[in-house]
Amino acid sequence: MKINIVWLYPDILNLHGDRGNAMSIVKIVESMDMEANLIKVNTADELPDLSNVDLIIMGAGQLRDIRYVTDDIRNYEQRLKDYIENDGHILVTGSTGCIFGKRYYLDDGSANDGLRIIDMQARALNRTKMPMLTKEVYGDDIYWKTEDGMEIIGCQIQRMDFTLGKAATPLGTLIYGYGNNCKGNAEGARYKNLMFTNTVGPLLASNPWFGVYIIKDILKAKGVSLDDYNDDKLNYMSIARNSFNAKKEFIKNKKKLEGIITEN
């Protein structure tokens, strides 16, 4: 069986080692004895027929590139929306998430329309100080859990504040970190199988169980069950579990700034 994965704008949206997600998801699919067909798409005319696509991944990008990506997506906006409405899976990380909201405001103060798929707004952090963090610091660990209780630890380099509207659902709940805007414990956003998280970089490398969950969900929709899949078939799963535990301990013991969201 083949899993078709579209990697959108890999040459543009690769700010924080995001290609690690592509590397991980391919490895996860192969550990399930399937073939991962990775399709790189950098412009609208390279986009394949989305009815044959199982997963789309989009990494974090610089704010200067977000407007170009949004404009390019407009060329196939309806196809993408149909894909999402038909429960197609998309994983979006970092500032790129703003494209899927209603409106986003960049460093230059400009207001830009998003795809209006998620009831969400985003605003560039146009300052060197983040509230409740030391001056000129954008980054920290982020530790959160999905609604099913799956725990994820990664890094967050926050260049935008995200505000969810009433109709929006967060992807997860913060256990530690800045999350969407450090004013509550919402992390990311979810609409059907469109998943946006502030966790940047290769989150699937360090949290392969999240990748396993996504692939299993894809297979379930195809009527394929992988209940007998043993996670340890993935040759770095045990290393990733150790990584998670070590980082959990690190977060527990590190000096935290006043106001940062912590579960305890």
Single residue of 224, 250, 259, 263 touching another protein by CB under 8 A: 250
Q: Please state the separation of Cα 106 from the chain's center in Å.
A: 20
Q: Which stretch binds another protein (CB under 8 A): 97-105, 113-121, 151-159, 185-193?
A: 151-159
Q: What is the DSSP annotation of 128-146?
A: SB-TTS-BT--EEEEEEEE
The CA distance from 7 to 16, in Å, is 15
Binding to another protein by CB under 8 A, coded x per residue (else -) over 77-106, reads ------------------------------
Single residue of 202, 209, 211, 212 touching another protein by CB under 8 A: 202
Q: How many CA atoms lie within 13 A of 105 on its CB side?
A: 10
Could you tell me the two tokens for 4?
A: 């078709």
In whole angstroms, how large is the CA radius of gyration of the chain?
18
Please tell me the count of residues contacting another protein according to CB under 8 A: 58
The CA distance from 76 to 79, in Å, is 5
Single residue of 1, 2, 52, 68 touching another protein by CB under 8 A: 68
Single residue of 112, 163, 169, 243 touching another protein by CB under 8 A: 243
Position 117 contacts another protein (CB under 8 A)? no
Q: Where in 3-22 is the site for another protein (CB under 8 A)? A: 10-12, 14-20, 22
Question: Is the C-alpha dihedral spanning 19, 21, 25, 28 positive or negative?
Answer: positive
Binding to another protein by CB under 8 A, coded x per residue (else -) over 159-178, reads x-------------------
Could you tell me the two tokens for 111?
A: 């207001």
The CA distance from 69 to 247, in Å, is 33
Position 181 contacts another protein (CB under 8 A)? no
Whether the CB-CB separation of 67 and 170 falls below 8 Å is answered with no
Position 262 contacts another protein (CB under 8 A)? no
Residues at the contact surface with another protein, assessed by CB under 8 A:
10-12, 14-20, 22-24, 27, 38, 40, 42, 61-65, 67-69, 107, 125, 133-134, 136-141, 155, 157, 159, 200-202, 205-206, 235-236, 239-240, 242-243, 246-247, 249-250, 254-257, 260
